[in-house]
């Protein structure tokens, strides 16, 4: 079983905020694999489904970002899940827009949602970091993350969300490297063809 937790703030006024990209990514996965409708549970919204034959529970905390750990911790404990079975999808200032990374544990690096989960659940969960870039000035971070993605951002955001949803079976198989590789191939099919051509030239 896998618990996917997207981080964000509830309410339509926050729906397209950069800080809500975790919600957006989770919604893309839920929609692609035909999960049951969200319902209220665990201080959040929960949708049940399956990916590649693996049961998956999707959770969107409704406690606002700073208290995300209440919902994630409650759900993880209810299902008696180890950290490796919990994937948290969240925005990452220290990654360029459109880049993703997966890591286990580590520092919250100033992210209040992660800090809350660390406090309520522990640090051994898998973190799917979705790059939104940095405004360049620490004083602008608060307004930057709570503002909507720009029109230009849509050029990379929508394809990324779609690619992450398509690659989600790798997450269900605990194949984090395969997930990142698959997303890269989907977004850059030409680079894969170039690599294959280079290999053929060497034969």
Q: Which residues are catalytic?
A: 19
Confirm if 132 and 147 have CB atoms less than 8 A apart: no
- Please give the angle made by the CA atoms of 38, 41 and 45, to the nearest 5 degrees: 35
Confirm if 170 and 1 have CB atoms less than 8 A apart: no
Confirm if 20 and 9 have CB atoms less than 8 A apart: yes
Within 86-173, where are the H helices? Answer: 112-120, 141-145, 154-166, 168-172
Q: 129: helix, coil or strand?
A: strand
């Amino acid at each position: 079983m896998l618990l996917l937790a997207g981080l964000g703030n509830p309410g339509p006024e926050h729906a397209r905020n950069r800080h809500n990209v975790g919600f957006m990514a989770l919604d893309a996965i839920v929609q692609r694999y035909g999960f049951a409708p969200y319902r209220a549970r665990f201080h959040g919204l929960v949708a049940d489904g399956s990916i590649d034959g693996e049961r998956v529970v999707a959770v969107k905390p409704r406690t606002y970002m700073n208290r995300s750990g209440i919902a994630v911790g409650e759900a993880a404990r209810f299902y008696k899940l180890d950290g490796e079975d919990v994937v948290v999808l969240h925005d990452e200032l220290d990654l360029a827009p459109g880049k993703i990374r997966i890591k286990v544990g580590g520092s919250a690096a100033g992210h209040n949602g992660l800090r809350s989960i660390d406090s309520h659940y522990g640090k051994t969960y898998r973190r799917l970091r979705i790059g939104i870039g940095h405004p360049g000035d620490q004083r602008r971070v608060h307004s930057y993350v709570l503002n909507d993605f720009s029109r230009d951002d849509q050029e990379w955001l929508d394809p990324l969300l779609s690619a992450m949803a398509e690659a989600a079976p790798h997450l269900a198989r605990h194949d984090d490297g395969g997930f990142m590789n698959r997303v890269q191939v989907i977004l850059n099919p030409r680079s894969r063809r170039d690599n294959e051509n280079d290999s053929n030239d060497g034969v």
